[in-house]
């Protein structure tokens, strides 16, 4: 036998059932039945970009790289003795700051028969997540002043472009230097494919 309170509760429960639609709009507040589109950017694969120092004279090849944050930039070194060091756009040929990467030098003797040869070691650094351009140069002798410079992810809207950086390097009047000549901000390791990258 239902008492008064139990009857009221039963009526309330029945009323709730009656006002609930039977279709798909019964989803609780705060949820959505719409599936968001896939985030293609987040799914972008990371890549290793190969750059050859000294291919085509005093040049990095390629010298204008576009790379997803987290990607690896891998430098291969041809004769005779190059390096790669991070700079600021407005101050080429010297390290940007204490946190700049520096590969150190890679002396590579030319082959007697004139054949292609590259260092048995490479230098790698990882493109940071801040999305800012990464400017770099070779710290050997007059190489930087001679135009041996490059960039990762230059900002086309900023007016600071590779041509301008190379022009500033050509006018550089200071002493070209690396980060105390030691390997920092990246990794120097065995060349995974010494026959590639010519």
**Residues of the shown chain interacting with Cu ion in the complex, contacts defined by CB under 5 A:** 82, 138, 140, 143, 148
Pairing label, strands 85-87, 134-137: antiparallel
Residue 71 or 151: the one with the smaller Cβ distance to Cu ion is: 151
Residue 54 beta carbon to Cu ion: minimum distance, rounded to whole angstroms:
6
Residue 71 or 185: the one with the smaller Cβ distance to Cu ion is: 185
Residue 30 beta carbon to Cu ion: minimum distance, rounded to whole angstroms:
60
Residue 104 beta carbon to Cu ion: minimum distance, rounded to whole angstroms:
12
Cβ-closest position to Cu ion: 138
The whole-angstrom separation of Cα 103 and Cα 84 is 5
Q: Closest Cα to residue 162, out of 146, 147, 151, 153?
A: 151
Residue 99 beta carbon to Cu ion: minimum distance, rounded to whole angstroms:
22
Query: DSSP characters for 174-193?
Result: S----STTS-BSSEEEE-S-
Residue 11 or 80: the one with the smaller Cβ distance to Cu ion is: 80
Does residue 169 sit in helix, strand or coil?
Answer: helix
């Amino acid at each position: 036998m239902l008492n008064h309170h139990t009857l009221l509760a039963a009526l309330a429960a029945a009323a709730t059932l009656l006002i609930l639609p039977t279709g798909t709009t019964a989803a609780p507040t705060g949820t959505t039945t719409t599936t968001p589109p896939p985030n293609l950017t987040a799914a972008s694969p990371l890549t290793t970009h190969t750059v050859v120092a000294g291919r085509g004279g005093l040049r990095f090849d390629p010298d204008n790289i576009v790379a997803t944050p987290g990607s690896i930039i891998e430098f291969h070194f041809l004769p005779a003795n190059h390096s790669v060091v991070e700079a600021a756009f407005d101050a080429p040929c010297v390290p940007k700051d204490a946190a700049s990467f520096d590969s150190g030098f890679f002396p590579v003797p030319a082959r007697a028969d004139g054949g292609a040869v590259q260092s048995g070691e490479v230098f790698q650094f990882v493109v940071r997540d801040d999305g800012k351009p990464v400017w770099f140069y070779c710290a050997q002798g007059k190489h930087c002043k001679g135009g041996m410079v490059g960039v990762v992810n230059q900002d086309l809207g900023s007016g600071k472009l590779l041509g301008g950086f190379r022009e500033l390097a050509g006018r550089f009047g200071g002493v070209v230097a690396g980060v105390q000549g030691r390997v920092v901000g990246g990794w120097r390791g065995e060349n995974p494919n010494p026959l590639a990258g010519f």
